Chains A and B, each alone.
Chain A
Amino acid sequence: MTGEVIVRAAEIPFPPSVEDFFPPSLIEGTGPWLTKFTLLLWVAVALIIIFFAVAYRDPKLVPSRLQWMAESVYGFARDNIAKDMIGPEGLRFAPYLATLFCFILVNNLFGIVPGIQISPNSHIAFPAILAVISWVLFVSVGIRHFGFVPYFKKSLILPAPWFIQPLLIPIEFVSTFLVRPFTLAVRLFANMFAGHVILLVFTLGGFALLNADALLAPVSVLSWVLAILLTGLEALVALLQAFIFTVLTSSYVQGALAEEH
């Protein structure tokens, strides 16, 4: 038994690398078009649609437990994010913010579900598209609210002396229109990526220790206990990152709608 474990452990490559993030195609020979990530993305969409459809199938004044859960998720996005961050006019963004929150949350939680244990958001492509959608949203909201030229005038030209403007305008442009979507995408991506790497290090590290020598073998138990504890931490990070992505999106929308800086 022990010998078998050690032989198995010898086959596990220890320092986890970026290659661990590229699982093979689900169907042989179809290339990268249907991988675990593609499947998980559709599963996430299906889960959210089914959850809300079932919860609202027969809405009652006194909600059932499922309806209460769905209502508190939407109520959280509506009251705590849209209303608190944007103000009364933020209510029309509540559907988008709630969808964004649920989609990112379900995708992040895939990172700790046993058997799946990787989040599609640990590939930069998925957070990048979400960030681009948010970017287009806040820029177009600003343009529709103020008009094209006044919006850019408002967001680029700050009340400052004229001689500082040549320095200020490029900085404002870069920070508002380039750094915002970039950080939005990289934050989510790096959190999920780092979380997966940490779990890999402690799980595979346990096998590497087991394999190293007799003295280090008991330490592998500690490594696996830490892996389980860190899974709990990852649950917190998944929730927090979904929340932060949504809060930042609503804060950017609020900035685009604000009259003054």
Chain B
Amino acid sequence: MNIAAVSGSLNALAIGAAAIGPGVGIGLVFAAYIQSTARQPESARMTQPFMWLGFALIEALALFGIAFSFVFD
């Protein structure tokens, strides 16, 4: 008899695990942007493209988790 049997898709767990790192990373990106804008409001337009770049590069990691968990189903 199995007392602690767990059934379901391991892929769902993998997405959760894959989201940890990018979650922290995206938080850092936006925190840094808010901080820099608060300190130097006139630099907001200048740094905005770099914020989106960093956001996109980090977000890709979380999205790989989603894509691969479907691919290797």
Task: Name A's B-contacting residues (CB within 8 A).
Answer: 18, 84-85, 183, 186-187, 189-191, 193-194, 240, 243-244, 247-248, 251
Contact = CB atoms under 8 A, between A and B. Distances in A.
Instruction: Pick the 6 closest A-B CB pairs, nearest first.
Output: A190-B63, A244-B56, A190-B67, A183-B60, A194-B66, A187-B60
Contacts of A183: 57, 60
Interface residues of B, number: 14
Contacts, number: 38
A190 B49 CA distance: 22
Contact of B49 (A18, A84, A191): A84
B59 A187 contact: yes
A190 B53 contact: no
Contact of A248 (B53, B66, B67): B53
Main SS at interface, chain A: helix
Given A187-B56, A244-B56, 18 more contacts: A18-B73, A85-B49, A183-B60, A186-B63, A186-B67, A187-B59, A187-B63, A189-B67, A190-B63, A190-B64, A193-B67, A240-B52, A243-B52, A244-B52, A247-B49, A247-B52, A247-B53, A248-B56
A244 B66 CA distance: 19
A194 B60 CA distance: 12
A40 to B, nearest CB: 21
29 contacts: A18-B70, A18-B73, A84-B49, A85-B49, A183-B57, A186-B60, A186-B64, A187-B56, A187-B59, A187-B60, A187-B63, A190-B63, A190-B64, A190-B67, A191-B63, A193-B66, A193-B67, A193-B70, A194-B63, A240-B52, A243-B52, A244-B52, A244-B55, A244-B56, A247-B49, A247-B52, A247-B56, A248-B53, A248-B56
